[in-house]
Structure 1
Amino acid sequence: MRNLLELINKYNHLILFILLEIFALFLIFQNNQFHKAAFLNSTNTISANSFAIFSNINEYFSLKKSNELLLMENAKLKSLISYKNKSNLKSLDPFQHISATIINNSVAKPNNYLTLDKGRLDGIKKGMGVISNNGVIGIVKETSKYFSTVLSILHSQSKISVCIKKNNHFGSLQWDGKSYKNALIYDIPSHVNLKIGDTIATSGFSYIFPSNIDVGIISQINTENDDKFHNIKITFLEDLKEIKYVNVCESINKIEKINLEKNTYE
């Protein structure tokens, strides 16, 4: 308190001058209509500009959210169009799709997982396939109410049924634990004619993924004369490090197919 009084005493002339200036301005704006109108117009302009700035900021974030929703829907439509155009529609096993966003992802571990922003309440179930515009991403591992985890295709336990697109010879796709850009194909007989650049697609033999989804292209073939099977390396079409939007899919005829095959093989 003592310091405050000393400060006022030290600058008493300046404080008095400021108070008198404020009082004088008040009298001018109160009694002079021209100055009063000019002052109000100035404050209105400042307020309007402030509201415009805040409105633009709010609109920016709203557009960002809308853009994310559009991208998700676009990913779903592209995926559906992609494999429908590449498949025989008469024999196509219909799948239902749920769009989702990846909120966590790893690619550099021996066993990699992803986390999606959709869970049981959105219809996600354990064992459903996860795909993108450019390939297979993985299989749903666990679910909670609002989230789900995915066993990535970049996992030692991941094994996807694929085929050579040009001749339908099928094999298994597995990650070798090295680069996130590549994987290996097993069980393709050595007599099958292959070349660098051939496309690898899903075989459709399982109920997890639709058939004919392009997964990658052959980038390396190492086969000796006495080998029974080709040693094939592929390059993924999808950038698994940058992927953001996916579709979780499930065969509508899954239960019927499982029961039929179970009764057949017993």
Structure 2
Amino acid sequence: MYVLDEPSIGLHQRDNERLLGTLKHLRDLGNTVIVVEHDEDAIRHADHIVDMGPGAGEHGGEIVAEGNLADILACAGSLTGQYLAGAQAIALPRERRQPREGRVLKLTGASGNNLRDVTLALPTGIMVCVTGVSGSGKSTLINDTLHAALANMLNGAALEPAPFTAIDGEEFFDKIVNVDQSPIGRTPRSNPATYTGLFTPIRELFAGTPQARERGYEPGRFSFNVKGGRCEACQGDGMIKVEMHFLPDIYVPCDVCHGQRYNRETLEVEYKGRNIH
């Protein structure tokens, strides 16, 4: 048996066709192949389909439809089937946004990896899609070259962009934000304050209080990600996971810290009447 979790992520349609061919070849050899997928081609090529739903999270957890493609298309309660049958669709915009006149971002002479002296002219003020088969140079052109160069110019970064000759039009932008697929936080305990770096000065603030200095507490004492100041019973989670056989796991407040994530000594340190929790 082979189990694959969304193998089509990031693949061009051409490469997706090759992937499906490989999966069907494994099946033809006598193997059972189970694929967790959203991709339409993968669903249509499957011999048997299990559609979960009807919604997500607490609104899901049921098998809405099961069978071959015709069975899924005929199921009125299957949202997947409705989209596959064309009863529902993502509507295209009636009007396309026009680019800002006279404002073009131009990258000249990009030659990183397999790029061959590429000149790229991007209109501004609109959504631009850069596509192509896997390995064609999309990431090198946009991530390694354009983003890295503009981050240095606009954000004061110190990245090393792939080779290029010039960039024109950077004056039309005040900053560049790169949203990639890397995890936001290092641990599941991270939160918006740790993501943005706000929690660092907060921990330093508590470490600078007279009570913390008397006890020799450093900023790390006020982190729930490391040993020292956190509650070790729940390891700084504030919640305890209870495994339920044949049922979803449940989470209950920690009996030691009562959801406060820190041990008693750490919570005794206050700044203007408030502790780190």
Q: TM-score range by the shorter chain?
A: under 0.3
Larger Rg: 1
Given the two structures, how large is their TM-score scaled by the length of structure 1?
Answer: 0.19
More strand by share: 1
